[in-house]
Structure 1
């Protein structure tokens, strides 16, 4: 879906793999037949040619041993909501044609790492793989050339396939993390305190004791905001207005200004040492972790997560 070069590669190099291209570029009409191409808008799941749609439905009809995968490379300017909606509709269509119960289709969604939050809001079962996708026709999305990014391409693969089964090439600067039990980028060092390989942007993150989590190496800690952030043009009021509280999970304030927690536990629970060198959790009052990772959250908070949306209430 939106990946004509991959479609051409599979046709030429791996003819044993059947591929069907859904693409908005109607010029593909002159290169492919209706049985392997459809003029298509991925933002609203619209087929411009009904005959091509019928051919696509035939393609979706699978034998018991067949395996089908959706690979999509949408324009980065697209919002994630319509793309996610289309992926859900295609999955339902596949299940209907093959008379299956709800069976998720494997998905590879190519998108920048900084869109992870938006993708997981719509499709929480998709997780970001460390693999960096290079584009030969986009200089800013590659690690080759004079205008390439220092940290490599920001484009990643989001998938619902377990990351443990994806083997990334060691010769391309990837390694196997024994603790995470999956392949990660070479610069993505495992943090024993966070219990994961935290890097997302291609740099080596460092663990901030005052945040209780790993942060980008160029970030500095702001004690007023209780966060690590960029030092340049930092405005505490504006920054906090865009943050999500680590206690109530609501956007617009930090833990120190959480009215719900203040009303629930009183002002004494919001006091912490400004000169401390290690973070103090406002929930359990213990040092070394933040409120998101507090093991006593369930003592005070009842959290229910469904389809990526968490509902929270105080007990």
Structure 2
């Protein structure tokens, strides 16, 4: 049976040719996507939401060169405005100042609206579930009573356990950093502020960039920026951009580190593009050293995205440390086998300078000169500690590398894989040329693939189609489902 051509959807970033600014949805500027069919790119590209993976969460769709009427633009602007928060960041700060002056018995928080309430607002929330007697201690730890946004298709907001959060802070302190740019890490930001305010040994400043606007109720404009990490968008505009830029460039850019914990379902390409924009902001200090140096970074992501991250940040190394989350059933440290947390830390800091806790099962490999998990045994043939998932891997002499213990060598595929894998339907490799040894982004044919087809073909009338854009859960691929309108 003939194998059908593989298809996918890729995000188009950093275009060099002149182009008009992308249209906006409630989550800021949209991203441009192109549908790929093996060997070529389809003629039409489209804009879709940068943050949401399914159209039911944000149904924005527009063809790249589509002419949009004034009436539609006006309706879109009204729709975007209607989906913005009721209060501005400045309003929330003023409300917070008034809230903390209230006696304990009058401090209420609406669990349904996720909002601090002032006494005149109680009546309109009378039928809602309220949290009463909100203490000052609770206000310093908003993640303890804010409901995590656990929609895996959109936000996937999981919070570090105290163990992982403290490890990150200890690492930051050990390396002497004085400022931390927290990108999507509200609990780390919270812990830094707590320990600094308690006048402990650390004295670190922190700035939180997060798409969750609820944090504006607890942090000033100098401590929190409403930010979309998938399109490098500051919702408050130039003022918030300058806050972030000033934070990064303070002390000529010295003593700052960026810690990012993106949703695992997000596009690696879009995240890397935004992170490089933040790095560019840091480099604008005017210092000649900043041009040649790298902004220290900790990118927290599952280990199976290692190759994708290294495509964009080749200097990064993946640490063996398992990051876990208190509100996720699977991402837990201490489990065995394949039930261990797959989340790791990718960093451009020197691995041999990062000490992992021995009491949690990590050990120092004198050959690799870095800490590894206990079961990650050194392979003398590969000359490395090869395990990525915490289990002991074994060396395959045919593949000339170490592989997972559950894999066997397949003579048909000429590589190791699970015993239950299907040789004919393996969906790996490059969408453009079909080779299995590289991805689309590193394909030498990507500049010419499809171009000749688009230039040489005459324009043909197309049948009307209704397009639904969605991303495949748990992967960085996306797919476009076309549902043709039924003929009457």
Indicate the TM-score class for this superposition, using the shorter chain for normalisation. Answer: 0.7 to 0.9
Please list, as runs of the form range in 1=range in 2, the aligned pairs for 1:1-315 lying within 5 A after superposition: 1-15=183-197, 16-50=203-237, 51-63=239-251, 66-100=254-288, 101-102=290-291, 103-143=293-333, 150-232=338-420, 234-239=421-426, 242=428, 252=435, 309=442
Higher relative contact order (CA 8 A, sep 6+): 2
CA–CA separation in structure 2 for the residues paired with 1:211 and 1:27: 50
> What SS does the corresponding residue of 1:63 show, helix, strand or coil?
helix
Q: How far does residue 201 in structure 1 lie from its aligned partner after superposition?
A: 1.2
CA–CA separation in structure 2 for the residues paired with 1:45 and 1:65: 20
CA-based RMSD? 2.4
Q: How far does residue 253 in structure 1 lie from its aligned partner after superposition?
A: 5.1
CA–CA separation in structure 2 for the residues paired with 1:202 and 1:119: 19
> What SS does the corresponding residue of 1:38 show, helix, strand or coil?
strand
CA–CA separation in structure 2 for the residues paired with 1:149 and 1:215: 15
CA–CA separation in structure 1 for the residues paired with 2:303 and 2:379: 20
Q: How far does residue 55 in structure 1 lie from its aligned partner after superposition?
A: 2.1
Where structure 1 has 5 or more consecutive residues not aligned to the other structure, the ranges are 245-249, 255-307
Where structure 2 has 5 or more consecutive residues not aligned to the other structure, the ranges are 1-182, 198-202, 446-488
Q: Is the 8 A contact 2:330 2:339 kept in 1?
A: no
Q: Is the 8 A contact 2:253 2:285 kept in 1?
A: no
Question: Structure 1 segments of 4 or more deviating over 6 A?
Answer: none
CA–CA separation in structure 1 for the residues paired with 2:249 and 2:378: 43
> What SS does the corresponding residue of 2:256 show, helix, strand or coil?
coil
> What SS does the corresponding residue of 1:203 show, helix, strand or coil?
coil
When residues 243 and 58 of structure 1 are mapped into structure 2, their CA distance, relative to the original with a 3 A threshold, is closer
Q: Is the 8 A contact 1:57 1:97 kept in 2?
A: no
Q: Is the 8 A contact 2:323 2:333 kept in 1?
A: no
Give CA deviations for 1:187-219 in whole Å, capped at 9, x if unaligned. 100000111000001211011222221111111
Q: Is the 8 A contact 1:141 1:149 kept in 2?
A: no
Give CA deviations for 1:218-275 in whole Å, capped at 9, x if unaligned. 111112222111011x222333x6358xxxxx85358xxxxxxxxxxxxxxxxxxxxx
CA–CA separation in structure 1 for the residues paired with 2:386 and 2:337: 20
Q: Is the 8 A contact 2:330 2:341 kept in 1?
A: yes
Give CA deviations for 1:58-96 in whole Å, capped at 9, x if unaligned. 212322594110000000011111111111111111111
Q: How far does residue 99 in structure 1 lie from its aligned partner after superposition?
A: 3.9
CA–CA separation in structure 1 for the residues paired with 2:402 and 2:434: 21
CA–CA separation in structure 1 for the residues paired with 2:367 and 2:434: 32
Q: Is the 8 A contact 1:107 1:161 kept in 2?
A: yes
Aligned length: 250
Quote the residue 2:44 is aligned against. Answer: none
